Amino acid sequence: MSVLTDVPTSTHEPGTIETDILIVGAGPAGLYGAYYAGFRGLRVTVMDVLPQPGGQISAMYPEKPIHDIAGFPAVRGRDLVANLVAQAEPYGPRYLLGHRAVELAHGPDLYPVVRSDRGAVVRAGTVVVTGGVGTFTPRALPAGEDFLGRGQVYFVPDPAEHTGQDVVVVGGGDSAFDWAAVLAPVARSVRLVHRSARFRAHHASVAKVRDLGIEIITDTEVSALHGTAHVERVELRHRTTKAVREVPARTVVAALGFVADLGPLQHWGLALNARRIAVDTRMATNLPRVFAAGDITDYPGKVRLIAVGFGEVATAVNNAATVLDPEAALFPGHSTDT
């Protein structure tokens, strides 16, 4: 099983889930928040619309080295996420993956109640929103909609699942080239198809794919997918000559980018600045018992870095702890003291 998906996951269980802190968003900030809540002895539940933890890192650049994490000259995205999951694991966080947080309400006691699109109901002492850029929806591959889940995918959480298969990756950005490069060692064949001769991907990513001998097919669109129960062939049409060819494929990875917005969060009554959640120095929002951290937040002087998100979510969790127990200390001490 992929490390990115090797977490205890709940889909839906009858009744209401009770938790001290509900973290909405399982990106780096959310995962670090799960650790920090556990370190403070709090029950924590993590909800995310994606089927695996890691947020944008898992979805868009799991194989790319990240250079701005303190103490790591470079760390692969997939490894960073795996380490964050492992860091929180001793405290037993509960994961609700594949759940979109759609509704927030406050009971008479002001405790937040969050409902997901799959029927999960979470009653939390506090909520910490760490939704990154918000909800990001993959751009659809028009010719592949009928084969979604039957060979056409948007993510590759476990490259080993494609061992010995013919794969077609569609797109010209970093995600497309990253997926192509990571699949090349295990797949029988990998082809990358892009509608233009120019790429949005970093030059080094393009060079790596070329060096691996992957066929790059430019000025070409996917005009159709063929197969019975599963994808078997991909029809390609050149945009200028209109010439058509077919190539074998068991998997078609649509890496065409994402459309990001706040989704249901924008209807929760949160104060917003430029479509981001406004917070104060405690990382508190305008709603009672609701905090936020990471790229989804805004305040004067905000810098959007993963490293900043780690500090913000620690601030949010510590302040949430004092809301849960007014006698609790804001600063819990150093981890080396335990």
Asked if the domains 16-136+259-337 and 140-256 are classified in one and the same CATH topology, the answer is: yes
For 86-140, write each residue's pLDDT tens digit: 999 999 999 999 999 999 999 889 999 999 999 999 999 999 999 876 666 788 9
User: Could you read off the pLDDT tens digit of each residue along the chain, which spans 338 residues?
Assistant: 233 444 555 544 547 899 999 999 999 999 999 999 999 999 999 999 888 899 888 877 777 788 889 999 999 888 999 999 999 999 999 999 999 999 999 988 999 999 999 999 999 999 999 987 666 678 899 998 899 999 999 888 788 999 999 999 999 998 899 899 999 999 999 999 999 999 999 898 899 999 999 999 999 999 999 999 999 999 999 999 999 999 999 999 999 987 777 889 989 999 999 889 999 999 999 999 999 999 999 999 999 999 999 999 999 999 999 999 999 999 888 887 77
* 111 known member of a binding site: no
Query: Could you give the CA distance from residue 158 to residue 170 in angstroms, rounded to a whole number?
Result: 18
CATH architecture of 140-256: 3-Layer(bba) Sandwich (3.50)
d(CA 302, CA 314): 16
Six-digit token string for 194: 């892009």
Q: Please provide the DSSP assignment of 144-181 as one string.
A: GGGGBTTTEES--S-GGGGTT-EEEEE-SSHHHHHHHH
Tell whether residue 152 is among the known ligand binding residues.
no
Please give the structure tokens belonging to residue 212.
């691996």
166 is an annotated ligand-binding site residue: no
16-136+259-337 carries CATH number 3.30.420.40 = no
Domain ranges (residues) in the chain: 16-136+259-337, 140-256
* 87 marked ligand binding residue: no
Does the annotation place 295 within a ligand binding site? Answer: yes
Q: Return the half-sphere exposure (C-beta side, CA atoms, 13 A cut-off) of residue 33.
A: 42
Q: What is the pLDDT of residues 61-88, one digit of tens each?
A: 777 788 889 999 999 888 999 999 999 9
